[in-house]
Amino acid sequence: MVGKARSGKSRAIEQKKTAQKRSGSGGRGSRRGPWEAQPRTADGRFAPFPRKHSRAAKKLAAEGRPKRFPGAWILGDNAEPADIRFRKALLERTVDIRCKGEQRRKVEDAVARNFSAMDIATFDDHGRPVVRPFSKAEESDRRYGKGNYRRKTKNDKGKVDGPEIALRKNASEYTITHEFVHHERTVDWRRFGFSKTAYPIDRKGTYHTNTKTIEDIRKVNVAEESATTAETAMRCGKAQKSYPFSYYKNLEDQVKKDVAAHPEKEESIKKKYGVDSLNGLSRKMYERDREMLRNVAGADEGEPVTGYNAIKTINGNFKKTNISDLKMGDETARSIFERIKSLRRKRRYDYLDE
């Protein structure tokens, strides 16, 4: 018995299903809708596709994105000058900026210049961070430095305080970027290894002050500040003219102290850091770290290093930086971080039950 000839409609349906399978979009087995084309990086490779959209991305989609401002996952991970307006609009949705006037403008400009749209879209993944100016008491107390980051914290009474960045009036672009890198290292789900915060956190990005950590928290802080300092030096499109690098200064003091105790080491130390004199060593170490990391990232002069490019570069090359030699006691930041990574792989470091 000869089967019925297929109608034109059934042939059209079959052709549509075949096309969907080939393209990988639509259909029941598709991993993403046809409207969500996976973004590509500047060199044509696929950018990492987010497992979930952040609150900011969902808000943009719900409000009906203007054609000039596509979603952050479409713009990808590059901080293109043409898209700076979109990144500032996205920053308004993801961060509660309580600074006024000139200070607010400096914050918006620094973040929009040195972070990609996808970076900014992750800022509110575990709660919207607050950016505020120093109080009068903080402004008059030099111990607070030029800026501070307080990660999302659960205290002894069980109360959770949200993430907060506090800035001095004269905080530079470097300081602002440094504090936002601290925040991104905590909340960005794409991060791992050296690019992820050294602090133990739970699934919601919360640090518990009432829980005894497996590591000395002072050592954890040295590891975190070293990696954040290295990433900030790499990220900023412009090198810093003034000297804001307290952690490189700490490293210079550490090296000079070592040479004073062991004069025979002076020549080998000069050779290690590629210098003729130990005077101004901190500045030279900063410049060498910045140059090495930006060369690996493939950044041009004046171009920021952002997004997944920044993550993979710092993760693969932090061990090669000078700042990773910074010590707490007898241990370098590098070795402290290596131990933290090992504990994380064994699931013995973060608060996994929370």
pLDDT of residue 83: 81
114 assigned to some structural domain = no
pLDDT of residue 14: 72
How many C-alpha atoms does 335 have within 13 Å on its Cβ side?
Answer: 8
89 assigned to some structural domain = no
Percent of the chain with pLDDT over 70: 75
Instruction: Tell me the residue type at 18.
Output: T
pLDDT of residue 45: 54
Query: Which tokens go with 275?
Result: 């210098």
Does the pTM surpass 0.75? The reply is yes
349 assigned to some structural domain = yes
Q: Show the beta-strand stretches assigned E in 114-259.
A: 130-133, 147-150, 153-154, 160-161, 164-167, 207-208
Q: For 220-250, what is each residue's pLDDT tens digit?
A: 999 999 999 999 999 999 887 765 568 999 9
Give me the residue label for tokens 């003034």. 242
The mean per-residue pLDDT over the stretch 323-328 comes to 94
Residue (of 107, 94, 264) closest to 184 by Cα position? 94
CA distance to 45, 76, 184, 189, per residue, from 308 (Å): 12, 9, 12, 11
CA distance to 26, 229, 249, 291, 300, per residue, from 245 (Å): 51, 8, 6, 16, 23
Q: DSSP code of 5?
A: P
Q: Which of helix, strand or coil describes residue 160?
A: strand
Residue range of the domain that includes 294: 198-205+215-237+246-354
Q: Check pLDDT > 50 for residue 35.
A: no
Rounded to the nearest 10 degrees, how much is the dihedral formed by the CA atoms of 254, 256, 262, 265?
100
> Are the CB atoms for 321 and 254 separated by under 8 Å?
no
More confident residue, 5 or 17: 17
The mean per-residue pLDDT over the stretch 70-97 comes to 76
Q: How many domains does the chain have?
A: 1
Helices vs. strands in the chain: H and E counts, helices first: 14, 9
The mean per-residue pLDDT over the stretch 102-121 comes to 94
End-to-end CA distance of the chain: 65
Q: For 161-219, what is each residue's pLDDT tens digit?
A: 999 999 999 899 999 999 999 999 999 999 999 999 999 999 889 998 877 777 888 99
272 assigned to some structural domain = yes
283 assigned to some structural domain = yes
pLDDT of residue 44: 55
119 assigned to some structural domain = no
347 assigned to some structural domain = yes
294 assigned to some structural domain = yes
Query: Which tokens go with 99?
Result: 């600074």
